[in-house]
Amino acid sequence: MLALPFILFSLFWAAIHAVVHSLNSEKGSLLPTELRSSRSSRKLRGGTHVTARYLHLKIESSAWNRYHDGLAGKLGSRRFQRSNKTLGYFYDAGVAFGVFGMLCAIGLLLWTCANLFTETFHRDSVVEIHRVVKRDIQDASHVDVGRSGGFVQAIIPGVTVPFSHIIPIFLAIFLSQVVHEVGHAVSGALESVPINSVGAALTLVIPSAFVTFPGSLLETLKPASRARIIAAGPWHNAVFWVVLVFLGWLRLSYHGLTLFAYEDISGLGRVVLDVESGTALDEYLPKGSIVTQLDDVPVNGTDDAWGNYLAASRPSPSEGWCVEKDVFFETPGSCCLEGVAVSLLSCFTTGSDTGCLDAVPLLTKPKENVRCDSMSGCEGNAICVRPAESAQLLRISVQVAGQEDDEIILWRGPKKEVLQQVQLGTLRARLSLFSLMLPSILFVLEGYLKMTTLSLYLFNLLPLPYLDGSRFLEALLSMASRTQVPDTYDLEMGINISRHVGTGWTVRIEKTLRVGTTVVFIMCVLMAGWNSF
């Protein structure tokens, strides 16, 4: 089962190394590249580096340095003195929210660890609910990532979220990191600190962005200035999250999409966006059609009747059908016996009696068959029957363009398979040139952007090695002890190596927080991974 993903992953990285090696070996190539086999790096033409080492791809450029220098020059001039002062207040607030975020992140980490510990060691008594998440994602001011009882959830494509979300997830991660690094760059310009380079990286399959500063200049800054630059990245993520929440409250994406290109059909039902290729429903459920009912349950409105009904462990009670008593009892109930397969007949029940009937003409032609609530609802020699739960029958009412009446599709099998195979939404394209999937993709991306930018705000403020929180803690302790902390700074995650010099109590506090947070974080990762599977 894991062989195919592993093969694709290996081929992906083999192709990356081949391309980088090919570009590096070409003479006179327009794109300067480098295949680095050691930690050293040489500067290439145009200031651009393309580096591939094991499972890490890095593209680094100094082409943006002049724009950053221009911004620093403007902010330092008299003409932009007011802007300089306003930005100073803005990033001073970022330091305050950095302290608040660090305390929240540590508290949340401890709380999560306690919950995961309880869940891990009471696993047998915990009812695991892995909700099938390929459902009404167009109603997507949120992203359902499964439930395990805690606030912090592991996002694993194909396990806790649909595998189709992998591109929106990685795009949201990258955009959130760009916002993060812009904060470092702008606050650096405010302090007249030039940048060495900006770039993007890919580690395993996770994208990232970074900006690097010359460590010698940062060493000369006051602790308060260093704290501003370091806190600016998480601060930008926090502000970006507030903006996204505000835009979501205004439903700006929804109103923009429904202005011209799409129409909201939630009053009728749910539009079919996609059906898994090769499945039985792929042939009978056309894209763009509208699902109006499941059995007798309407799927219109703002609630998720589609997902709730299909994910329910027991079917909701519904009306039955009137059939002649002789027809019902003339066929033995052999199809109701466990392990007996009858291809054309399905098990029906009337009270304590069971019988086998052809479900297709009975359930798919509502105008030709009389519905009933009880025995008294049928006339003459007819009795009221309902599909037995073991028959696993589901009626899907579909409104197809060009047809006056709803078409009824009869499904036999687990209802959760329908939830897995069919993707629905609430917005239907007005013209065929507009993609049915575009609104759902935008809404899902918006949901993951909120999640990732808030996660980066909190996660980066944890006092862990190589994160902003570690550098931020050093700057805060330097401010508190009024000591200058010589350091080498590179605000790219995973590369920062520093040496700390300070008073005894600051070193002890810093070491205690770093080691303690690291131990708790590793425990959380291990327990979250175990509980996710």
Asked if residue 104 belongs to a domain, the reply is: yes
Q: Are residues 304 and 215 in the same domain?
A: no
| Mean pLDDT, range 100-129, rounded to an integer | 78
Give the pTM: 0.79
pLDDT of residue 143 exceeding 70: no
Asked if residue 10 belongs to a domain, the reply is: no
Q: Are residues 270 and 246 in the same domain?
A: no
- List, for residues 164-180, the tens digit of each pLDDT value: 788 899 999 999 999 99
Asked if residue 172 belongs to a domain, the reply is: yes
Q: 400: how many CB neighbours lie within 10 A of its CB?
A: 14
What integer best gives the mean pLDDT of the chain? 81
Q: Are residues 344 and 301 in the same domain?
A: yes
Q: Which one, of 295, 275, 278, 296, lies nearest residue 287 by Cα?
A: 275
Task: Please state whether 204 falls in left (phi above 0), alpha (psi between -120 and 50) or beta.
Answer: left
Asked if residue 408 belongs to a domain, the reply is: yes
Q: Are residues 245 and 274 in the same domain?
A: no
- List, for residues 371-408, the tens digit of each pLDDT value: 888 767 788 888 888 898 888 899 999 998 767 778 99
Domain count across the chain: 2
Q: Are residues 271 and 359 in the same domain?
A: yes
Q: Are residues 206 and 287 in the same domain?
A: no
- List, for residues 190-235, the tens digit of each pLDDT value: 999 999 999 999 998 889 999 998 877 887 888 999 999 999 999 9
Task: State how far the Cα of 163 lies from the Cα of 166, in Å rounded to an integer.
Answer: 6
- Strand runs (DSSP E) across 223-264, as ranges? 262-264
Exposed/middle/buried for 261, CB within 10 Å: 0-12, 13-18, 19+?
middle
> Which of 392, 425, 458 is a domain's end point?
425
User: How many CA atoms within 13 Å lie on the side-chain side of 209?
Assistant: 19
> Which of 390, 425, 460 is a domain's end point?
425
Q: Are residues 225 and 273 in the same domain?
A: no
Q: What percent of the chain has pLDDT over 70?
A: 82
Asked if residue 206 belongs to a domain, the reply is: yes
Rg of the chain, C-alpha, whole Å:
30
- List, for residues 455-501, the tens digit of each pLDDT value: 999 999 999 988 999 999 989 988 887 655 444 444 444 344 444 44
> Which of 365, 396, 425 is a domain's end point?
425
* Domain range enclosing 273: 266-425
Asked if residue 453 belongs to a domain, the reply is: yes
pLDDT of residue 131 exceeding 90: no
Q: Are residues 177 and 247 in the same domain?
A: yes
Looking at residue 318, its pLDDT comes to 80
Asked if residue 517 belongs to a domain, the reply is: yes
Q: Which residues are bridge partners to 346 per DSSP? A: 357
Q: Which of 51-55, 113-117, 415-419, 490-494 has the lowest mean pLDDT?
A: 490-494
Asked if residue 217 belongs to a domain, the reply is: yes
Q: Are residues 351 and 232 in the same domain?
A: no
**Do 449 and 175 meet the contact criterion of CB atoms below 8 Å apart?**
yes
Q: Which of 104-108, 384-388, 529-533 has the highest mean pLDDT?
A: 104-108
Q: Are residues 398 and 276 in the same domain?
A: yes
Q: Are residues 107 and 245 in the same domain?
A: yes
| Mean pLDDT, range 8-26, rounded to an integer | 85
* H-run or E-run covering 187: helix 166-190
Phi, psi for 363 (deg, rounded to 5): -95, -20
Q: Are residues 245 and 280 in the same domain?
A: no
